[in-house]
């Protein structure tokens, strides 16, 4: 894994949170994007080399909706940048980690992504992502 690519934060109202994080980070989101397959709207902020992803549910079927019901707003996942997501999924499975996605899927921000099950990572939801070329 190369670096932490972004932190995902679950929010109830992305417009309000965009305003809040714009004030906090003193910069505007560089991208806002709906991921229909995940029932979320996302927005991204750059902070130096790091990124923050805000996620708002667009339906009650969204994992973000369920997360907020259970735990409230807050840090939802840590995403690591990888160079070869297929190889990394294979490696992680070999190490005994449980993947939510056995095959990479399209994510926000021009990425292929896969999530690990938090059961196998001390309760932390982990995303691995690879920039699409």
**What does the binding site for Zn ion look like in residue numbers (CB under 5 A)?**
8, 53, 79, 127
Closer residue to Zn ion (CB): 77 or 94: 77
* In the complex, least distance from residue 9 CB atom to Zn ion, rounded to whole angstroms: 10
Closer residue to Zn ion (CB): 96 or 121: 121
Closer residue to Zn ion (CB): 68 or 79: 79
The answer to whether 91 and 73 have CB atoms below 8 angstroms apart is: no
Give the C-alpha separation, 35 to 38, whole Å.
Answer: 6
| Nearest residue to Zn ion on Cβ basis | 8
Closest C-alpha to 53, from 77, 81, 85, 73: 77
* In the complex, least distance from residue 14 CB atom to Zn ion, rounded to whole angstroms: 14
* In the complex, least distance from residue 55 CB atom to Zn ion, rounded to whole angstroms: 7
Closer residue to Zn ion (CB): 53 or 81: 53
Q: Which two tokens stand for residue 63?
A: 């994992």
Q: Which two tokens stand for residue 58?
A: 């667009």
The answer to whether 11 and 55 have CB atoms below 8 angstroms apart is: yes
* In the complex, least distance from residue 97 CB atom to Zn ion, rounded to whole angstroms: 17
Query: CB within 8 A of 89, min separation 6: which ones?
Result: 99, 101, 102, 103, 104, 114, 128
């Amino acid at each position: 894994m190369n670096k932490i690519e972004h932190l995902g934060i679950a929010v109830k109202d992305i417009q309000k949170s965009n305003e809040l994080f714009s004030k906090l980070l003193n910069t505007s989101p560089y991208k806002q994007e709906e991921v229909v397959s995940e029932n979320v709207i996302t927005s991204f902020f750059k902070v130096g080399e790091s990124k923050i992803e805000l996620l708002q549910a667009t339906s009650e079927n969204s994992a973000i909706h369920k997360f907020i019901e259970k735990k409230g707003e807050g840090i939802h996942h840590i995403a690591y940048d990888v160079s070869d997501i297929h190889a990394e999924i294979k490696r992680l499975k070999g190490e005994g980690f449980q993947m939510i996605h056995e095959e990479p899927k399209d994510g926000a921000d021009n990425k292929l992504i896969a999530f690990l099950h938090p059961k196998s990572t001390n309760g932390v939801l982990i995303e691995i992502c690879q920039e699409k070329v």
